Chains A and B, each alone.
Chain A
Amino acid sequence: MTEFFQQLINGLSVGSMYALIALGYTLVYGVLRFINFAHSDVFMVGAFAGMYLGRGLGQASVGGGLLVMLGAMALCAVLGMLIERFAYRPLRNRSKLSVLITAIGMSLFLENAGQLVFGPNPQPFPATFPSRNFDLGQVVISSKDLVVFGVAVVLLAGLQLLVLKTRIGTAMRATAFNPQAASLMGININTVISFTFGLGSALAAAGGILWAYKFPKIDPLMGIAPGLTAFVAAVLGGIGNIPGAALGGLLIGIIETFVKGSPWSTWSEAIAFVLLIIILMFRPAGLLGETQPEKV
């Protein structure tokens, strides 16, 4: 029983990070109908940015941890916007395939550049937020899990507020619904898209910092597996759907943690893909999405 709770807590904390990354995928897909392959590598850059920033901290503190995270988020927001501006925007009117290939190329570029610049070996992530353990009977809750979950919840709530209550959020929703109509209403599509990329990248960076905080060894290829899993989470929840991405992330985090703890653990890498294929076969709109019939 305690094992179960331990795994559940683990699953929720990993799942919250998947949710943050999944949000980036879903935001961009909602606005551009495009899967940003390079998103998982922005996550990685966020972690490394955090590493360099974190080295400047004397000791672990809540304030210090937040500063590191916000710094990384800002850096990655800029990175995301630059990528969109120079690699994706020129191709906006070309075939879907061209942009997809460019995104793949960008992902490989970031991974390989990361290996050259940061070195391919795993590096330790400095202490940012303080960490201690809380004993609840036989279950041990690490402050890491609490921080991860807590920060994720705050960011998610903030995102919902932004999307539902602010002007830019409404602009994003309008653009996702119908870009032509939105631009006719005076919305600057380019600004909205840039903003969306920036926002998604910032969330990925947050995910990266939290990941590095929980698993303090980072390397340039660290984004690949979580990125793919988070993408599946976004599809599971219904790609383009924000609460769906959060739900999908948590679900997959929990499922994956339990599988890793079971005798089937060597198959855990395939789990995400198997899930993806099942979803796309049987319910492509995901759990919370809506089906779109093709107009002829």
Chain B
Amino acid sequence: MLLARPRTLLGAALAVSVALGLCQQRLDPYYVDVLTRIGINITLAVSLNLINGHTGQFSLGHAGFMAVGGYTAATVSMFAAPHFLPANAPAAFTLAWFLAALVAGGLVAGAAGLLVGAPSLRLKGDYLAIVTLGFGQIIAVIFRNIEPLGGALGLSGIPAYTNLFWVLATAALTVYVVTTMVNSTYGRGFLATHDDEVAAAAIGINTTRCKIVAFVIGAFFAGVAGGLYGHFSMTINPKGFDFNRSIEIVVMVIVGGMGNTAGVILAAALLTLLPEGLRTLAGYSIPVPWSAQPWSLNWIGESRPLLYSMLLIGLMLLRPQGLFNWGRRGSTATS
């Protein structure tokens, strides 16, 4: 498969992201914006796919990990870094601090994943979903109550360090980690846990450990994505990491096909572009035979969440395996 030479592919992807990062100034800012959001969403969706798709644990609180990472990274950048950065520090220093902020965000989010996962993962299906949803909400309430972090209004004035390099490199790294992990003999443990926990345990797979590893790694990357998001939109508040955000990511995983990394990447890109497409569409009017005036499509702009929910229901009823799931799962290649 594409995994014949994963390290080479990763290298190529990193090279592309460096190139894009360097020539970012010359690109149309609108496209840079969209590409950045696509990259962040890919990271979020692929990391959630590890938990939901590959390991079969239904987590509805992914945005909570994003929040933890976002706030942590912002805290490092805004409150820790200034102590150590002289006023006109060379770019390398700033970059290093940004990297530190992102990694810190990921690590704290990973720790949150452990905290959430360890007690929750003995629950099954519906209950796990509700508990993860609950944890996501609790995280939001916690941040809303922490005044030094801006309370309900959140933090603003986060330095705009995110650029195409960081975003695409993170996305590439996330994809690399998840795919190499899963496409190996070690990775069969996750798939077995997904398929049948009892049978997996009977052949020696520590299903609890698999689930926790998936959770922690998924949470880590969600945290990094949160950090990237914070340094891109320059302000974060608890409302941006709510249940709706978690659902958006879940939709990407479902549309892409649970456990299908390539499909999920495509779905993340498409669903990021969808609002843009809808916005453009909403600006049009179609001529209709029953009226002299063309029929305005601007209702589309208001109805995005409605359309999302209909998409979700329609997918489940008609094509639950996702839009982009064509092949069978079950690779026999040795990587």
Q: Kindly supply a per-residue 1/0 record for chain A positions 101-124, scoring 1 wherever the CB is within 8 Å of any chain B CB and 0 otherwise.
A: 110111111011100100000000
- Determine whether A277 belongs to the interface, using a CB cutoff of 8 Å to chain B: yes
Q: For this complex, into which size category does the number of interface residues on chain B fall? A: 35 or more
Considering the complex, give the chain A residue whose CB is closest to the CB of B56. Answer: A97
Given contacts A35-B130, A267-B145, A270-B137, contact A101 B312 (CB under 8 A): yes
State which of A86-94, A170-178, A185-193 sits at the interface with chain B: A86-94
- Determine whether A15 belongs to the interface, using a CB cutoff of 8 Å to chain B: no
- Determine whether A231 belongs to the interface, using a CB cutoff of 8 Å to chain B: yes
Considering the complex, give the chain A residue whose CB is closest to the CB of B137. Answer: A273
Nearest chain B CB to A154 CB, angstrom units: 30
**Is B135 a contact of A273 with CB atoms below 8 Å?**
yes
- Determine whether B302 belongs to the interface, using a CB cutoff of 8 Å to chain A: yes
Given contacts A34-B126, A231-B130, A273-B138, contact A98 B316 (CB under 8 A): yes
CA distance A95 to B40 in the complex (A): 30
Interface residues of A in 248-296 (CB under 8 A from B): 266-267, 269-270, 273-274, 276-277, 280-281, 284, 294, 296
Given contacts A87-B317, A109-B310, A112-B305, contact A104 B247 (CB under 8 A): yes
Given contacts A96-B126, A100-B126, A266-B144, contact A108 B305 (CB under 8 A): yes
Nearest chain A CB to B259 CB, angstrom units: 12
**Is A105 a contact of B320 with CB atoms below 8 Å?**
no
**Is B313 a contact of A87 with CB atoms below 8 Å?**
yes
**Is B127 a contact of A280 with CB atoms below 8 Å?**
yes
Interface centre among A98, A116, A280, by most chain B C-beta atoms within 10 angstroms, is A280
Interface residues of B in 108-142 (CB under 8 A from A): 119-120, 123, 125-127, 129-131, 134-135, 137-138, 141-142
Given contacts A98-B316, A104-B247, A276-B134, contact A112 B309 (CB under 8 A): yes
Nearest chain A CB to B298 CB, angstrom units: 13
Q: Kindly supply a per-residue 1/0 record for chain B positions 287-328, scoring 1 wherever the CB is within 8 Å of any chain A CB and 0 otherwise.
A: 000000000000000110110111111001100100000000
A281's contact among B119, B142, B313, by CB below 8 Å, is which? B119
CA distance A107 to B309 in the complex (A): 8
Interface residues of A in 106-161 (CB under 8 A from B): 106-109, 111-113, 116
CA distance A113 to B254 in the complex (A): 22
- Determine whether B250 belongs to the interface, using a CB cutoff of 8 Å to chain A: yes
A97's contact among B58, B142, B308, B311, by CB below 8 Å, is which? B58
- Determine whether B22 belongs to the interface, using a CB cutoff of 8 Å to chain A: no
Can you give 13 A-B contacts (C-beta < 8 A)? Answer: A90-B317, A96-B126, A98-B320, A105-B310, A105-B312, A106-B313, A108-B247, A109-B306, A109-B310, A116-B302, A270-B138, A276-B134, A277-B120
